[in-house]
Structure formats: structure tokens, C-alpha cells
Structure 1
């Protein structure tokens, strides 16, 4: 009888632990991809996207976005990557926002989604 009362709590705790681990894994993958994209963006002469992105900035965005999608198996509609203006001259920054839905908790009737973000700033490399 006591186990029947405790079982739903244990299931929610286990599902929450698995989803927390998944969120941490996805965040680590986002950070790695943004770091690589920012390093590529540091080589671009014009890293900003105003009003349009230069060829190098688009390449850095595509590299980071593709790496996030391949490592996390998330759809492209959930991934946004853009260069960010920095206050420090001689640096570039890249930011990624990823919307993650937690499927295991949806089975229990809880449908949370979370937006994970990562930004990486890198020293610009000028010729």
C-alpha cells in the first residue's frame, strides 16, 4: 500500500532527473558549438549582421547551427544562432538560443519547455 502511494512520486523524480541530465547535455553541446562558431567568426572582416550578414558571418552561423542540430538531434526550427554586438572593441560574440521540449515529463501530463542560451566572445583576428 505504501509503495502504491510512493510510486508516482518516484516516477516523476526519475523522469525529472533524466530530463535534467538531457538539458545539461544539450546546454554543453550548445556551448561547444557556439565556441566553434565564434572562433570562425573571429576570422571574418565584418562579423556583424546589420543590415545583412557577410559571407563569413553566415558561414560561422551555419557551422554553429549545424553542429547544434547534429549533436542534439533537435529540429532546425528550435535553433537560433546570431552574432551579437560587443561593447569591447576587437572582439566578436556569437549567441545561440535553443528551445527544448521535455518529452518524458509530457507523458506525465506536464509539458514544460525551456529555452537554453549560450554566448561566446572571442578576440577578433585582423589581417
Structure 2
């Protein structure tokens, strides 16, 4: 993740802020992402200003987590609906189209033409 998002963060500030965070939570029980979120939620707003880069990373992690949850939820719905007749390869292709539907919906696909003609009669 660090290499992929390197342009989104100030690496030096992030390193310093993470070291500060580790000192503050030393001895406290922090086991889950929820514990980390609660730590920052409980901080005074002016104290959060010292952790801008950490907060940015945390937002990225939470967004990626939510995206993954939606993907698995969609997969479960699709797999349940057409379980008996679908191969793994077809399911993979279908889920790829589903996850990138904002792009694929805008494409002029032969399948779109087929769907329109089928609906017309």
C-alpha cells in the first residue's frame, strides 16, 4: 500500500506521526482497526491536527475495507443466484465487470446492444 499511495502522503511526516502514536498508545490495548479509530475519535480536535497523515492513511484503509465488503456481498448474491450453472472463470469475469461497472456501463458493448434488442421484443 505504501508504494501505491506514496504520492498521497508525506512519508517523513507519516513516519514521525506513527512514532508519536506508538509512544502515546504504549501499554494500551490496541488490537483492531476499531481501537485505532476510537483512539482518534476520542482525541481533542486540536490534538488530531498532529496526526494529519495518519488520519489520511486511516481513511484510505477504511475506504478499502468498505469496498472489499461490498465486493464480497455482491459476489455472494451473484454466486447464490446462478450457483448451479456458472464456472469459476465466468464468475470471475462477471465480478470484474460488476466491480468496474462505472466504466463498463459507459462502454459500447455488444452485450448492451443485445440487451436493448431483447427488451424491444
- Same topology, TM > 0.5: no
Point out which structure has higher relative CO (alpha carbons under 8 A, 6+ apart): 1
Q: TM-score, normalised by structure 1?
A: 0.33
Q: TM-score, normalised by structure 2?
A: 0.35
Greater per-residue strand proportion: 1
Larger Rg: 2
